[in-house]
Structure 1
């Protein structure tokens, strides 16, 4: 008899415990009915074990479950929508429906383990670009990350914005649920086509094409040295003897090397911060070398533009070599530097034997330079890396050397 009693008590304790756990977890708010109006807000509420209510990573209040009165009690000083007594209409492992202040809320339980599994197998993880043929100046990069978050970066001249949210791929329905009000594909999307190159979605009757971007993470070589690395503890420059290792030491030799060159063409790639995606365009530096006049100038294109695509109200700065003084880094300026070795570098224009140099700029830029040993004045590649709020990551790679 005692064993039976203990068994019944154990069953009752387990039942109460199971009931207490039913509210805890992540729920998708699918519908809110107010009078005769139906809203489909589509956002996630997480009722965690510590009694907090979380949405979009923000703690918006607290919760408790009054099982006797079948109430979900929420308190929030942030937003009235997340506060108040909620009369539970139904509660099970899949659905939670309650009534609050004349509103009827409908929530569906999310299986986060299943979501992570289906998302990982969806083929969507990575970076995608919205096709926007009407406005080529706007770049929209959507990055799906595991297990269920995404970022959308929108970039245009003079402006950049970043938004994020949650995504859920449903293999059975062939659908994509995107939870963020600030994105064109917010809500439920029907997937018409998905492959390694393209994603075709239908959202509210509109077809939207998103193209897969290549994984360029191997192109990214962050430069971690600082200006302080070039000086010892007493403030003395540590690399005075490095000048003898540079391949370009004679101004006249540089002039004669470029006397038959008309232009240097570079591919200029800018990393879209927060992604491994690059925007790439072509820059052309005009070269004017006159051995009779003993003058040499190379357009300074290392602000990211050339004379053929100047921004409004911008002039290309003159960049003439001082033949009497010289400059081993022309057409760049001289800054703190150190030689880190030699390397055969393969580029789209060919393979070049280079001296590799690390250098710093006057505005906390860091550079890695590949100086072509037998072509003074011509860089095979330049990395420019700057951190911070106004930071950037640029790559210049030699595309061609045009002769007269």
Structure 2
């Protein structure tokens, strides 16, 4: 009997150790405050004390933990961050609050009820994609995407640069507040939320106000170009579309010159897809047209790099785009690229409805193009899609907005 009692005690001790990580500590916690002397920091970071003994924050395993219930302390160990190492004397621990002292620091944590957060977020009206601007930097387009149940992505885009940050969002229905946990300027942390309409919210954060405008599904259809380079060659590696140039509608350079002799400018809407969303950043590009039938010369500003002569980037200039009567097709952006004719289509644009020849083309740097050539307006594209996949890819749409004639 005595031997059996000893075995039972040992087994119970092992069970207690094994279940140490199943204590009231395990779960997701928000660090609301750390006090050192008279200094108060509000880091608003999320720490997961997992039942397997790991400590996860911002998706990184930073150490391990155990709970000594007898001495009411949590023991942390970390080779990565000293903040997650050492003994923590527990001063308060219940289903909602977890407070402890660690050296001269006092930590205050609030438990996150993930099911409740998911429900509140879903009812907040914030799920979706929102745009907002910064008066101090109007060139930056900011897109904030709230996903259910609790993750967000902030995309900041400006000419030549794009950055992405993310984190967790928590909407408090009772307080009408929005907590953004992550590295985000101006609206990071706790925001007061004012609903202006179903499509407009005002966030107030430490005196800074930001208006979020809902981005609806864009009228532009996102048509990813899925054809491959291999499709342009046969099984022997020979190019299959040598005769395609004869199918194009712009076969007479003199017709091209005469059709544009009274044209002054071509206006295009240039739309850039903000990757990861269905939101487009759109601006207007203007191509000047110079046609002289006496001199038999024609040039059209090449605006298909995403800028025109009226908003040239520093140290940039428009490439020459003149009609060559010996190589008439060099006026438009097929250049020396491989291309094929895929059919005809009646296309509606802001400038009207046009019968077009549709071409697919391969660029020299893994770009793919789809081009709509207006049959009875040689030299004028109704629409161009430029699609490049990958980490440094992009998706552009050029759509004809207006044809401006000479007075």
Q: Quote the offset at 1:19 in angstroms.
A: 8.9
Cα distance between partner residues in 2 of 1:229 and 1:223: 13
Cα contact 1:267–1:398 (8 A) shared by 2: yes
The residue that corresponds to 1:8 in the other structure is none
Distance in 1 between the 2:243 and 2:225 partners?
23
- Partners of 2:46 and 2:212 in 1: how far apart? 25
Counterpart position of 1:102: 104
Alignment partner, residue 54 of structure 1: 56
1:2-401 correspondence runs (5 A):
20-216=22-218, 219-327=221-329, 330=332, 332-401=334-403
C-alpha separation between the residues in 2 aligned to 1:209 and 1:73?
44
User: Unaligned 5+ residue runs, structure 1?
Assistant: 1-12
TM-score, length basis structure 1: 0.90
Unpaired segments ≥5 residues, structure 2: 1-14
CA distance in 1, matches of 2:40, 2:125: 34
- Normalising to structure 2: TM-score of the pair? 0.89
CA contact under 8 A between 1:217 and 1:276: conserved in structure 2? no
Stretch of structure 1 that moved more, 157-166 or 258-267: 157-166
1:331 Cα deviation from its structure 2 partner: 5.3
- Note the C-alpha offset of 1:156: 2.7
Deviations 1:258-302 (A, max 9, x none): 222221110111122333222211111111222232222111111
Contact 2:21-2:67 within 8 A present in 1 as well: no
- In structure 2, what is the Cα distance between the partners aligned to 1:194 and 1:58? 38
Bigger Cα displacement from structure 2, 352-361 vs 127-136:
127-136
Count of aligned positions = 391
Deviation of 1:389 (Å) = 4.2
Is the Cα contact below 8 Å between 2:288 and 2:300 reproduced in 1?
yes
Helix, strand or coil at the partner of 2:328: coil
Q: CA deviation at 1:329?
A: 6.6
Q: RMSD across aligned C-alpha pairs, in angstroms?
A: 2.3
Displacement of 1:18? 11
Deviation of the 1:130 alpha carbon? 2.5
Residues 31-82 of structure 1, C-alpha deviations (whole Å, 9 max, x = no match): 1122232222111001123221111111111122222332222111110101
CA contact (8 A) 1:321 1:331 kept: no
For the 8 Å contact 2:290–2:299, the answer to whether it is kept is yes
